[in-house]
Every structure is written in structure tokens, then in C-alpha cells.
Amino acid sequence: MLRLLGHRLLQLIPTIFILSLIIFSLQHLLPGDPALALAGENPDPETVAAIRARYGLDQPIFMQYLYWVGGVLTGDLGLSMRHNLPVTTLVLQKLPVTLQLAIMGIVLALVFGVVGGVIAAVRRNTSIDYAANVVSLAGISVPNFWLGIMLILLFSIQLRWLPASGYVPLSVDWRMNLATTVMPAFVLGTAIAGIIMRHTRSAMIQALESDYVRTARAKGLSPTVVVVKHAMRNALTPIITLGALEFGALLSGAVLTEQIFAIPGFGKLIVDAVFTRDYAVVQGVVLVTALFYITLNLLADIGYILANPRLRS
């Protein structure tokens, strides 16, 4: 296992280097001039030149990349042109918001998706299986923005149980925090739950038809032990991969959901930065998101080994 981790960590070095090149290069291919956008209407050349000099835009592209990478290695993601704040500060402000929504959404998706998929596989071709398939397809098919609006109409306007929008930090009031995050977390988790349910059902059906499960049943083991200890443990490998990727997608910022519920997370930050040509913010947020994906894939590799002992060799 240590050899595997060392091999994966060595692979991260060229991956992160190539990733930084792609992020920096594609960002500078966007049309428009950030200095002109920041200077406003009818700017004089002196103002534009001063903005370029302050943010290093007057330097060659290669030098800008070296300055940016050097700052990243020391924890400095640059300075936001729009907010006039370090990008690291903005990321640390928005990350807890999106991280909370992502954790709540993925927990909901895993609980309902895995449990529903296992039950559907065990009760294959029954009314329970058909109902689970209908629910999973509905969760995948319903757009997030429509579901979010419907939840606001029901729970905020009709029943008046939850606030329609906004966000209250957990450190300020945990009750209001849960009240403002439960609906967006449900919206984020619904589609993922449907995907996980279908993958879990497929993996469980394949596992239940395998030889080692038939052997376990022939030994007289209880159905619960056969399903949970033998079939489910071997069916977890694709679910771990899917869960890691979907969690990374949630961390990248659910733009529509955050816009509907007015959640100040990564999604709103990246959209505002793109429209205002705030290069440093776009590069910083994309880099942090990509590093999350890389870390989650590494954790998924570890999860394979823990879930399936045969992979340890």
C-alpha cells in the first residue's frame, strides 16, 4: 500500500505542472482586456498602464506564468483586480460555504443512492425495484434550477418553514445555517443520488450473481451477511470512484444552485471573476478545484484497497 501511495504521489508532480500550464494558458485566451475592464469607460492611457504595471500585465506571458507559479508554491494565488484582496483570502472565505454544501449533498446522495441501489438489487424485478428505478430516473432528469424553484415555492412561500435564500455561517447560528443550506444541499444531492443508485444496483446485481456469493449462501450464512459483508463490499469499487468524482464536481461550485439560493460560494465567485476578467481569481479557483479532484482520486485509490483486500497485492 505504501508503494502504491508513493507511486501516486510521484505522478502528481507532472500532473500538477501540466495542469498549471493549461489553467494559465486557457485563461489568457479569453477575449477582452482585464485592465480596460477595470479602468471603466473612456479610460486614459496612463490609468490603463498603471493597472497593467500593478498587476504585472505588462510583463511577457512567460514571466507572468513564472511569477504566478512562484506565488502558488508559497501559498500566494495572486491579487484580485476586482476585490483588491488576495485570492487566497477570497478562496478561504468562499471555500467553507461550498465545502459544507458539498458534504451535505454527497452524504445525502450516498445514503439514499447506496441504500436504494442495494435494496433494488436484492429485490430485483419486483415493485420495489421498479419504484427505485423511477425515483432514480426522476432525480437524474429533473433540472436543478427547476427543483430549487419548486422547493422555494413549497417550503418558503407556501409553508414558510425555511428561508428562500441567503446564507448564515455555522459559527453565527447553527440553526439558521441548517435552515439556509438544507434546500440547496437537497437539490445538489438529488441528481447524484439517482446516479449512484443506478450504479450501485448494477454493481450489486453483478456481485450477487458471482460464485463467491453462491458459496456463502451454500455455507448457510444469513442473507444480511451475504449482502453486506460479501456482495456489497466487492461492489463498492465503482461507487467509490463515482462518489469521489461527484464530490469533486460539487466542490467546483454548483453555479445554478448557488445563484438560485443566493449562496456566496465558489460558483458565484468564479462566474463574477469570468465576467470581470479577474484572471487571478479564475486561475486560483480553478487550481484549487483541480487539486481537490486530484486529492479525491488519491483517496479513492486508498478506498479501493480498504474495501477490497484482493487489491492489496
- DSSP track, 136-147: HHHHHHS-HHHH
pLDDT for 50 beyond 70: yes
3 state SS of 79: strand
Q: What pLDDT, on the 0 to 100 scale, is given for residue 31?
A: 67
Tell me: pLDDT of 148 over 70.
yes
In the structure grid, which three cell numbers stand for residue 25, read together?
494558458
Total length of the chain: 313
The amino acid present at 97, given as its one-letter code, is: V
- Contacts for 292 with CB less than 8 Å, ≥ 6 apart: 248, 251, 252
Position 1 pLDDT exceeds 80: no
Largest alpha-carbon pair distance within the chain?
85
Minimum mean pLDDT range among 50-64, 168-182, 185-199, 212-226: 50-64
Q: Express each pLDDT in 92-126 by its tens digit.
A: 888 888 888 889 999 999 999 999 999 998 888 88
Under a CB-based contact definition with an 8 Å cutoff, are residues 189 and 106 in contact? yes
What's the rounded mean pLDDT across residues 252-268?
A: 80
Each residue's pLDDT tens digit, 123-143 = 888 898 899 889 888 888 888
pLDDT at position 310: 64
Task: Tell which residue, 58, 51, 53, has the closest CA to residue 37.
Answer: 51
Where exactly are the structural domains of the chain? 90-275
Q: What is the pLDDT of residues 64-97, one digit of tens each?
A: 888 888 888 888 888 887 778 888 888 888 888 8
CATH topology of domain 90-275: MetI-like fold (1.10.3720)
Query: Tell me, what's the pLDDT at 174?
Result: 85
Q: What is the pLDDT of residue 253?
A: 60
- Quote the cell numbers at residue 313: 497485492
Rounded (10°) angle between helices 266-275 and 279-307: 150
* Residue labelled with grid coordinates 468524482: 245
Q: Residue 305 has what pLDDT?
A: 73
**pTM attached to this predicted model:** 0.81
| pLDDT recorded at residue 312 | 60
CA distances from 255 to 98, 143, 250, 252 (A): 10, 13, 10, 9
More confident residue, 253 or 300: 300
Q: What is the pLDDT of residue 245?
A: 84
Q: What is the mean pLDDT of the chain?
A: 83
Q: Residue 56 region, left (φ>0) first, then alpha (ψ -120 to 50), else beta?
A: left
